[in-house]
Amino acid sequence: MTGDGSPAEQRCEKSLPALFEPFTLRGVTFANRICVTPMCQYVAEDGHAVDWHMAHHGRFSLSGVGGACVEASGITRTGRITHGCLGIYLDSHIEGLARIVSLYHAQDIPVGIQIAHSGRKGSAAVPLDGAAPLAQHDPEKAWQAVAPSAIAMSDGWPVPHALDEAEILSLLDKFAAAATRAVRAGFDFIEIHGAHGYLVNSFFSPISNKRNDRWGGPDPEHRARFPAQVAEAVRAVIPSSMPLLYRTSAVDGFDDGVTIEDTVVLARILGSSGVDLIDCSSGGIIGPSGRAALRPSPGYLVPYAERVRRDADMPTMAVGLIVAAQQAEDIVSSGQADMVAMGRQLLDDPNFAMHAARELGHPNPYSLLPESYRFFLERRKL
Ligand SMILES: Cc1cc2nc3c(=O)[nH]c(=O)nc-3n(C[C@H](O)[C@H](O)[C@H](O)COP(=O)(O)O)c2cc1C
């Protein structure tokens, strides 16, 4: 490469790996296909971001990723999983979130936020304290969790309150209010947390939703009503240029749970409800989020992203033990997913994107990094 290494110039290069091709959803272009996956840090103070969040996102904002998504942020106080979770239910949360946004925007990286309600998995201790229900761990700090049906998440967990019609409609308003705050904070996209057994997922799963009103029923189409209404409520209050993502648990991992066929139905419905991309995770309807039909191994969830992309004709993001450059390149170049979301590998190696660019023969890997690093690294002679 003889020019300035600008993204425009790189796109002209024939040798650019597929992982480093830009990707556009509505009005937002990700410079490459690597996205920081949402990762709860459990250190928020009354839902507010703290210095740790700035340091955590600071690492990734300087690393050349194509995009990033801030951790699950509660749309209500009791919609957080733990007392350490971020919130987006007060206007006072906006300032800290906007500081995270500005870290990424300073590097021209689109950043989104995952808006979430914990449902029957809420009122838990933070993982470092064992993630047990607060009702056991610290009863004074516990709250009444809610769900589509009064069914406990698993043995030892409190029975949640089954939401009535008015409460369900009120939660749709809270999702919309959270989305409005996300727009005010400057986020480029929003992801609805529809996975891991939390409220939205619990409406879609037949394991946790036994309702026989319009919010439930035997068919995936009926159980998709709440997820779709959340998507419509959010879409109605965000700019048309703003992408809306939806993280799904593509399979529950239990015989009587959500199947990939159900998820294809859901994805089609969500596509008609204003969702632009399905982020395909799995599990969590009972017990920890990792519980899935397949044992975790590198790329074990990629087939779900591939299936949804093909059968629902929706862009997808793959996630789950994506740990190596060639693996990520193969997922994108073979059309299994449009983007890869990465978590623990980025904790292990925050500069993964640049390292992957180098390994995959990107013509100018250091061009991914900010000028203050690039200038010196390009001139370093080993
Ligand atoms: C510390 C940590 C926090 C997480 N928090 C969230 C979260 O807020 N929302 C979510 O959907 N998934 C969350 N996850 C799951 C990740 O987004 C991701 O799906 C999972 O870690 C698998 O990807 P990986 O193998 O690249 O880490 C979290 C994972 C970790 C390790």
Please report, in tens digits, the pLDDT of each residue of the chain (382 residues total).
334 545 455 444 457 999 999 999 999 999 999 999 999 999 999 999 999 999 999 999 999 999 999 999 999 999 999 999 999 999 999 999 999 999 999 999 999 999 999 999 999 999 999 999 999 989 999 999 999 999 999 999 999 999 999 999 999 999 999 999 999 999 999 999 999 999 999 999 999 999 999 999 999 999 999 999 999 999 999 999 999 999 999 999 999 999 999 999 999 999 999 999 999 999 999 976 554 555 789 999 999 999 999 999 999 999 999 999 999 999 999 999 999 999 999 999 999 999 999 999 999 999 999 999 999 999 998 7
Cα–Cα nearest to 369, from 55, 111, 108, 110? 108
> Which atom of ligand 1 is closest in space to residue 341's alpha carbon?
26
State whether the beta carbon of 344 lies less than 6 angstroms from ligand 1.
Answer: yes
State whether the beta carbon of 209 lies less than 6 angstroms from ligand 1.
Answer: no
Distance (Å, rounded) from C-alpha 228 to C-alpha 240? 17
Taking CA atoms only, the protein residue closest to ligand 1 atom 2 is 39
Contacts of 83 (CB under 8 A, 6+ apart): 126, 141
State whether the beta carbon of 317 lies less than 6 angstroms from ligand 1.
Answer: no
> Which atom of ligand 1 is closest in space to residue 322's alpha carbon?
26
Distance (Å, rounded) from C-alpha 182 to C-alpha 91? 10
For the chain, the structural domain boundaries read: 23-318+329-343
| Rounded distance from Cα 281 to ligand 1 centre (Å) | 9
Catalytic residues, by residue number, are: 198
State whether the beta carbon of 245 lies less than 6 angstroms from ligand 1.
Answer: no
For 81-134, the three-class secondary structure string (H helix, E strand, C coil) is CCCCCEECCCHHHHHHHHHHHHHHHCCCCCEEEEEECCHHHCCECCHHHCCCEH
pLDDT of residue 9: 52
- Locus of tokens 């749970």: 257
Taking CA atoms only, the protein residue closest to ligand 1 atom 3 is 39
Mutate to test the pocket of ligand 1, among 35, 40, 42 (most ligand atoms within 8 A of CB): 40
> Which atom of ligand 1 is closest in space to residue 127's alpha carbon?
1
- Locus of tokens 């989305």: 179
Condensed to tens digits (0 to 9), the pLDDT of residues 27-57 reads 999 999 999 999 999 999 999 999 999 999 9
> Which atom of ligand 1 is closest in space to residue 345's alpha carbon?
26
H/E element, 265: helix 260-272
Distance (Å, rounded) from C-alpha 255 to C-alpha 102? 45
Tokens at 207, concatenated: 């394991």
| Rounded distance from Cα 364 to ligand 1 centre (Å) | 30
H/E element, 166: helix 165-185
State whether the beta carbon of 193 lies less than 6 angstroms from ligand 1.
Answer: yes
Backbone Cα Rg of the chain: 20
Specify the fold of 23-318+329-343: TIM Barrel (3.20.20)
Indicate the Cα dihedral angle 231, 258, 38, 91, nearest 10°.
40
| Rounded distance from Cα 38 to ligand 1 centre (Å) | 6
State whether the beta carbon of 171 lies less than 6 angstroms from ligand 1.
Answer: no
State whether the beta carbon of 72 lies less than 6 angstroms from ligand 1.
Answer: yes
| Rounded distance from Cα 40 to ligand 1 centre (Å) | 7
| Rounded distance from Cα 308 to ligand 1 centre (Å) | 20
State whether the beta carbon of 194 lies less than 6 angstroms from ligand 1.
Answer: no
Distance (Å, rounded) from C-alpha 376 to C-alpha 355? 16
State whether the beta carbon of 38 lies less than 6 angstroms from ligand 1.
Answer: yes
